[in-house]
Chain A
Amino acid sequence: MSDVMHDDASDVKRALAGEADAFARLYDRHAAVVLSLCRRSIPSGVRSGLAEADDAMQETMIRAFRSLDQLDEPDHFRRWVYGIARNVCAERRRAAMRRNKHEGDAMKAAHAMSDAGHIHRNGQIDHADDVEQLDRLGEAIDRLDEDERLAIHLFYLQEGSAAAAMNAMPGTLSRSGFYKLLSRAREKLAALMQSDSSQDATSERAV
């Protein structure tokens, strides 16, 4: 077991014992990955994806905190919290889909507004091109398999440390197995991104 996993287990125990910093460490270690997982776009639209994902991440962490005492194997905190994230996101997607069904137009209005050129996010105005690229990347990431997605997130969020990322993957993977997974994911992404951009040029978008 890596240090990371050991830390999780002890932090879970400490958090249960009431140590606030312990949960903060758990948060620091996993929130970004959870958020990345939650960024899997929902039908309400990519543009609100980040804020939506932030909400989902927070909900996930709160739920995790509340049911920490039900976690039998503190070692498995990471997998467990990913599982919660998955449920939270599925619920939210359902809600969003329902919302979309009923108020789809309003969301489209939001799209129309942001498509007009700028997007307001955290008070900043991002350049439309970047936003577009990143959104497309988000869409491409959505199309990866679950393990590929996780590999990508872990790799980029562990400061490029493949070893840490590899250890954080559920199941057992060899180093070459992890790299294989990672490179497959990146190849897929590259292909998707290209195929997307050419598609954009030819598709008549409604908004």
Chain B
Amino acid sequence: MTHRNDQSDQPMDQDTLDHLLRQWHEQNRSTAAASRDKLLARVAKEKTSHAPSPPFQQAQHASGESAGNVMLVKLALWRMIMHRYTRVAASLLLVFTVLALLFPPVTQQSVAQSGVVMLPDGGRLDAFDAKGNHIGPCPLRHTDVDVSIAGHFSRTTVTQQYHNPYDFKVEAVYTFPLGHNGAVDRMTMTIGDRVIEGEVKERELARQTYEAARDQGYVASLLEQERPNIFTQSVANIEPGAEITIEISYVEVLESVDGEYTFVFPMVVAPRYIPGSPLGPQEPGTFAQDTDQVDDASRVTPMPAKPDVRAGHDIAVRVRLETGGPGIAAINSGQHDVVQFAERHDGEKLTGISLALKAETEIPNRDFILSWKQQGDGIEEAIFTHTGEYGDYSGGFFTMILQPPHRVSDEQARPRELIFVMDNSGSMRGARLDQGYSALDAAKEVINKAIDTMRPNDRFNVISFNNTLATLWDEPRPNTPENRAIAQRFVDQRQGGGGTEMANAVFAALGANQFGQDGRGLLTAEQLANLPADGRRVSVRAHQTDVVQEQFRHQLRVNDEQLIDVHLIAQIPLVARHLQLDGRWMTRAGRRVFMIDRASVLDDTDDDELMRIVLFVTDGLVGNDEAIIRAVRDHSQQSRMFTIGMSRSPNRYLLDKMAEAGRGAADYVLPGDDVSPIVQRFADRIATPVLTDISLSFDGVEVVDVMPGLDRLPDLFDFSPLVIHGRYTDPGSGSLTIRGRTGAGPYQRTLDLEFPADQRDHDVSATLWARANIDQRMIDDDKQTIIALGEQFQIMSKYTSFVAVEKQRKTIDGESVLVRVPIEFPEGMAWEGVFGSDRGNDALVDSVRGIRHSPPPPPRSAPSAPGRQSRSAAATQLTPPPSSPSFGSSSDEERARDQGYGFAAGGGGGGGGGGGLFGEPGQERSREEPMSKRERRLVISDIVTDLVAPNAWQEFGGDLVTMQRSDGLPKVHRVTDSAEARDVANRATEFLDRYEPIFSGTALHSDAFKGVGYEESPENLATLTALHEQTIKIGFDAVPLERAIGILQDETGLEIKMDWRDGPRTHIVTLPKATRTIVVTLNALVETQDPFSKPMIVVRDGTIVITGDEAARREAHVVVYDIRDLIAAAMSRGSARFEPKDQIVGLLSELVDPYGWREMGGETGSVHALDHWLFIENTTEIHRAIEHLFTQLRAALGLAAEQRVYGRAIDDGGLPVRIYTLDAILGDKPSSEAIDQVIGMIMSRVDTNGWRDHGGDVSTMLEFASLLVIATTPENHSAIDELLRDPTGQRR
């Protein structure tokens, strides 16, 4: 709380204050005056129309607003947009439109429509524990990268230094990238002078080994591969002050294109789009949940640090380059400044260079790329062999690096069909390649230029995709100037935004649909017959003679035995040709019928000759890599796929593999690159590939497992080496013949081979072969083979991990705290570009999606709370949301706002403002920031000063006592030496002492205290039971209130006191005769016109008391509640989108005395939170209600709950509150989407206009721990009950 001050100051002088007060009030006066006419016009209109008026909020859009009114309307809109249930309204809209799809049945399918927009939601400078609490600087201190390039290979050694700056043990988890072609074959862990070699084990086994070691207190490390280019390093039991070094080493074959060699070290895992629907709660420290399409999303989406925040670790890179012969002509490291510190010469030639990053501690936020040219126009050919024992694969290995023929121009231009695919997702817009030049701009430029390089007889089409797919034409059109102009305009008009649903674009580009294999997306009749006839639209390829007519019935021949009924709306052409039949595949009167509404002739003749080329321009930042690669491989028989990646940190693995699977080539546009040469290279590649249709044949030697294959070799589009890995079983000599086609015709070359019987050197050959083999197996997910390869060759794969355990020494002292090491946000990427979209519809969709991602990642597991952790954990999670990303420019701001970036980024989820629960302006402590000792002290001061004699503190203008800091808890000092001051000081000190274990963070259980929670006395319990359960049939007709109460006392035998000082004692009451409970009767009697003094019915010392706010306030007292179990339950069960403490406070503020909380503008109550304790000052009645609510929640959550108070939960409007568990319909861990759907369903079916959050004034619905807490009328409760039992409504 900011308003606490540690030292006293001079008050502001009265003149300044007076001036300010005048100014402040003048603002109000003029604002009110500005609104006058509009409001009066509205009032006048209401008067004349006599019609029921629309909700107020909609009334403000009068025409002709002044600037102020425009602002007002804007704010109203903003508020509407910002309002949670407007988003629910948006989901409602969706629910309405897709209701048929959603129910029946409620399955995962029902949410499969919605993608997941990945949303980094705030900067993380530091480390977080398992509860998601911030604990301080991250333990990864520094990364050293040592690269040794020799000839065709590079070996990269990455050294990570972990350091534990805390006074408790930590477990560090760090997600980072490595080159995707690399074979990771070494991991060591160094502690002091002990070096422990890591061992490759099957992934699960490695994890078990690691976890067992961790739990027993051994220092252990585990390296897991999430993607071929994304790895996770975990290090357990790093002792306070300890330093642990992890060394990871991998080898890869250098890439070279047209004489230019490139070495890439990726430094950052760029945020990726995660398609699919979420499967479970989100892991802390990550920004995406696992989904049905990406089941390890949480492992590949480490939370980046906000751009203006450092993740706290840095990187140094050193490279030693030896060509082994040829001279180095030009060397360049595009994205980093380097210094060259050594050169080696062979005569005149420069054959070796050593260099390092200029900045010794660079931020790892963009890929390190080193490229150089070698003198001479040839490729140094090399054949390496190695023999060794590798279990099942023992024997000889070879690696060949072979020179291809030089490029020869193709004289005969074959007709081509070019499909240009552009990714216009948010990440493309967000990634800046240069000042004012985004990846999307580059993509447009590439495609527009590529369109210009087409040959006259080419045909072409353009597709763009984000969440949705936009195709320029139904089918490719000829390359005419007009069509080119149309296409380029189409490209220019594409706006960035939305997700990256890449698979759909792949299908579309390759001319396949999700069911068919046909290059044009056509099904065969047989495929059609195997599809459910559910009314779907299909296109079928058939020969004219397959459509047969018997009498008046048409049928389509599937095969010799099977015919499909056909209903012809269209005319079948009579020429004997292949046809494309479009129509619906449906079931009519129990028969499956193909309703053909269009039949066209397929011009098959050119198909064999036609070369179909897809150019896919994207950053590849998606999580479902393998699925996309598979899609390309499966659908590219008649097409070739070329990819161009653009971003500072593109997903090279995906782009390379897509091109490989599509028998094309990948290229990259990097910052500062001119796109023209890259487009020209693409044009050259497709015009005149260097070598195509490559096959290999070995003679005289037995070879097996040749990678990438003997006849399925990728075409060589560039003058790049042909790299072949393989095994040989028998040593000896023989030859290899390479065959293929060049632009000039067939090509053939034969080399002599010599496979030695014993060659211990070059063991890298075995490693690289195994790695290449794993790559191939990955596409089919051949897990067993991959595990065998990984274990036998001791290399990493998706299914094999490195694990190292230091067994010499055991650490002591409890569990270690999990720390996720944050990563850097990729340079050049814009936060806002990652979400938002430019079109309304998308904004709507995004906004609906945003709801699932806006909250901060709450903890998943119940807190294991050793004392230390408690102390280090943030004291209150009820504090505010994380600071938002800062926007680049004002236009960005506005756009982002208009586009719904707000909710997307709206990660916060934290409750109100500062140390209090509901927020104090001016105190916006991000929940990402640590609860420092100072902050904890402030929260404690706040609790004490607010709950003990709030007016006595000097900090608040009082003059009796003040709070002073000390080493431990704050100390209370008297300012004056009066009896009053002594009394307050004593009370405050007692208070501090009493709750010392809570304030110091050592109290874990409520057992430590007596009287935690509200406890009811037996007398009160009896009175309460009577008050709420006893009914009476009574009515009054213009009777003074006091008399009415007297009558009621006599009739019921209950004692009812009036302690209503401010109330009109002569109030005259009229009440129709009816049977009501006593409490309802009393409430009706004291109902008054004056909202200032509405009295309360309370039970005090066994007596019913009618009392005003004032009196109630006098008897307010503090009760401490332990909500640890509720928080834990919410963590383990909740939909993981809201902070449990926020939700609990939300429940209190909505359902228990909503107008009373001081933090909410009320007068009576006050809530403070520290760790899992709530300090609540309130009246007995409210404590009773709070305790009751907690009891109900505990019961609904299956927690042992002792009923300690009397009660039926009712909200302030007297509506019964019920708690609904969704387990029955959604399972015990429902996803946020599923909960949203249920909320949407309830709001759309029950009490449609009454939801308070939706403009109504009846019902309230809140979510907690996958429960719905609803206050509404009994009728609505039954309707909800029924709805939840039978969501489809079929039984009704």
On A, residues with C-beta under 8 Å from B are 18, 20, 23-24, 27-28, 31-32, 34-36, 39-43, 45-46, 48, 50-55, 57-59, 61-63, 65-66, 70-73, 76, 79-80, 82-84, 86-87, 89-90, 93-95, 97-109, 111-113, 116, 120-123, 130, 133-139, 141-143, 146, 152-153, 156-157, 170, 186-200, 203, 205-207
Nearest Cβ on chain B to A39's Cβ, whole angstroms = 6
Give per-residue flags for B1138-1172: 1 if the beta carbon is below 8 A from chain A beta carbons, else 0: 10001000100110001100001111000000000
* B1089 and A73 contact, CB distance less than 8 A: yes
CB neighbours of A18 from chain B (8 A):
47
CB neighbours of A156 from chain B (8 A):
21-22, 24-25
* B122 and A122 contact, CB distance less than 8 A: no
Option from B4, B31, B47, B56 in Cβ contact (under 8 Å) with A54:
B31
Nearest 8 A/B pairs, CB to CB: A104-B881, A83-B1091, A104-B908, A106-B902, A123-B67, A105-B908, A43-B919, A190-B11
* A106 and B71 contact, CB distance less than 8 A: no
- Known contacts A32-B25, A198-B9; is-contact A71 B1089 (Cβ 8 Å): yes
Chain B residue nearest to A51 in the complex (CB): B75
Spot the interface stretch: B76-84, B478-486, B629-637: B76-84
* B68 and A123 contact, CB distance less than 8 A: yes
Bound CA–CA A204/B925 (angstroms): 8
* A195 and B955 contact, CB distance less than 8 A: yes
Given A55-B76, A99-B79, A101-B1146, 8 more pairs with CB closer than 8 A: A27-B36, A55-B72, A63-B56, A90-B1162, A108-B882, A108-B924, A143-B3, A195-B3
CB neighbours of A83 from chain B (8 A):
1090-1092
On B, residues with C-beta under 8 Å from A are 2-5, 7-14, 17-18, 20-25, 27-29, 31-36, 39-40, 42-44, 46-47, 53, 56, 59-60, 67-68, 70-72, 75-76, 79, 82-84, 121-122, 851, 854-855, 880-887, 890, 893, 896-897, 901-903, 905-913, 918-926, 929, 955-957, 1089-1092, 1138, 1142, 1146, 1149-1150, 1154-1155, 1160-1163, 1253
- Main SS of chain A's interface residues? helix
* A54 and B72 contact, CB distance less than 8 A: yes
* B28 and A53 contact, CB distance less than 8 A: yes
CB neighbours of B76 from chain A (8 A):
55
* A137 and B10 contact, CB distance less than 8 A: no
- Known contacts A66-B53, A153-B25, A191-B11; is-contact A104 B4 (Cβ 8 Å): no
CB neighbours of B882 from chain A (8 A):
105, 108
CB neighbours of B884 from chain A (8 A):
105-106, 108-109, 112
CB neighbours of A142 from chain B (8 A):
921
CB neighbours of A45 from chain B (8 A):
921
CB neighbours of A63 from chain B (8 A):
56
Chain B residue nearest to A31 in the complex (CB): B32
Between-chain CB contacts (< 8 Å), 23 pairs = A24-B40, A36-B25, A43-B913, A54-B32, A54-B34, A62-B43, A62-B56, A73-B1089, A83-B1091, A84-B1091, A87-B1091, A87-B1155, A101-B910, A103-B903, A104-B910, A105-B121, A105-B883, A113-B893, A170-B1092, A190-B12, A190-B14, A195-B3, A199-B2
* A198 and B5 contact, CB distance less than 8 A: yes
CB neighbours of B887 from chain A (8 A):
109, 112-113
* A104 and B909 contact, CB distance less than 8 A: yes
* A97 and B919 contact, CB distance less than 8 A: yes
Bound CA–CA A40/B10 (angstroms): 25
- Known contacts A133-B20, A152-B21, A156-B21; is-contact A20 B1090 (Cβ 8 Å): no
Chain A residue nearest to B894 in the complex (CB): A113
- Known contacts A24-B40, A100-B911, A191-B957; is-contact A206 B905 (Cβ 8 Å): no
* A35 and B31 contact, CB distance less than 8 A: yes
Option from A39, A82, A108, A194 in Cβ contact (under 8 Å) with B883:
A108
* B919 and A100 contact, CB distance less than 8 A: yes
CB neighbours of B2 from chain A (8 A):
196, 199-200, 203
Chain B residue nearest to A52 in the complex (CB): B75
Bound CA–CA A60/B188 (angstroms): 70
* B922 and A103 contact, CB distance less than 8 A: no
- Known contacts A61-B39, A198-B7; is-contact A138 B24 (Cβ 8 Å): yes
CB neighbours of A58 from chain B (8 A):
35, 39, 56, 60
CB neighbours of B34 from chain A (8 A):
54, 122
Nearest Cβ on chain A to B74's Cβ, whole angstroms = 9
Bound CA–CA A54/B887 (angstroms): 28
Nearest Cβ on chain B to A68's Cβ, whole angstroms = 10
- Known contacts A39-B28, A107-B82; is-contact A62 B39 (Cβ 8 Å): yes
* B883 and A207 contact, CB distance less than 8 A: yes
CB neighbours of A192 from chain B (8 A):
3, 956-957
Bound CA–CA A73/B885 (angstroms): 53
CB neighbours of B53 from chain A (8 A):
66
Chain B residue nearest to A46 in the complex (CB): B921
Chain A residue nearest to B890 in the complex (CB): A113
CB neighbours of A122 from chain B (8 A):
31, 34, 67-68, 71
CB neighbours of B5 from chain A (8 A):
195, 198-199
Option from B43, B902, B923, B925 in Cβ contact (under 8 Å) with A23:
B43
Nearest Cβ on chain A to B789's Cβ, whole angstroms = 46
